[in-house]
Amino acid sequence: MSEQNNLQEIVAERLQAYLKARKLRHTPERFAILEAIYETEGTFTAEQLREIMEKKRFPVSIATVYATTRLLVEANLLMRHPYNSASALFERIIDPYPRVYLVCGKCGNISQLKNKELLNVFEQTRTPRFTTTHRIAYIYGFCSKCQRSLRYKKRPSIKQKNQKHT
Ligand SMILES: [Zn+2]
């Protein structure tokens, strides 16, 4: 069995258990959407997920996509990135964690920062009285494309300014 099939089986079992425990209906749409999510690498919006379902020849309404993504987030099978952008960005929950994302404040694009030292510290950070499920951090700023278009110039920070006076 391939790794991808194995992953699909694991997440389908988790959804099944979640629905059963809450006495929710086992609808084909929910499982088809879950499968599409776990075939998708990186982030996607609800509208993009609807298009993916259309390509899979399993068309669903945008209302179904919204309702199902909400359910899957609650079931800890889908991650909703918590920052504000025009539309919410979703991503499957899959190893490896932790992750550090760079978020562009202009275009909303996100990319991963691969800094081994930072990731190691982040992974080992203890979280007393808190059960951690996945470790994610965000660094905000502007991507190189937007930086060029904004002609954004790095200004000295307040701290640096203050240091000049002392
Ligand atoms: Zn950008």
Which residues are close to ligand 1, an ion, with C-beta < 5 A?
104, 106-107, 109, 143, 146
Which whole-number Å values give the CA distances from 158 to 32, 78, 104, 154, 163, in the listed order?
51, 39, 22, 12, 9
Alpha-carbon dihedral 14, 20, 23, 25, rounded to 10 degrees: 70
The distance of Cα 38 from the centroid of its chain, to the nearest Å, equals 12
Ligand 1 centroid, distance to 96 Cα (angstroms): 25
What is the 46 CA–ligand 1 centroid distance (Å)?
Answer: 20
CA 60 to centroid of ligand 1, rounded, Å: 31
Lay out the sheet containing 99-104: strands in order across: 110-113, 99-104, 136-141
pLDDT of residue 10: 95
Domains (range + CATH), the chain: 1-94 (1.10.10.10), 96-166 (3.30.1490.190)
54 C-alpha to center of ligand 1: Å?
A: 28
- Residue 90 has what pLDDT? 92
Q: Ligand 1 center to residue 149 CA distance, Å?
A: 9
pLDDT for 94 equals 83
pTM: 0.74
d(Cα 30, Cα 18) in Å, to the nearest integer? 12
Asked whether the beta carbons of 53 and 32 are under 8 A apart, the reply is yes
pLDDT in tens, 118-146: 999 999 999 999 988 889 899 999 999 99
Q: Give me ligand 1 centre to Cα 148, in Å.
A: 9
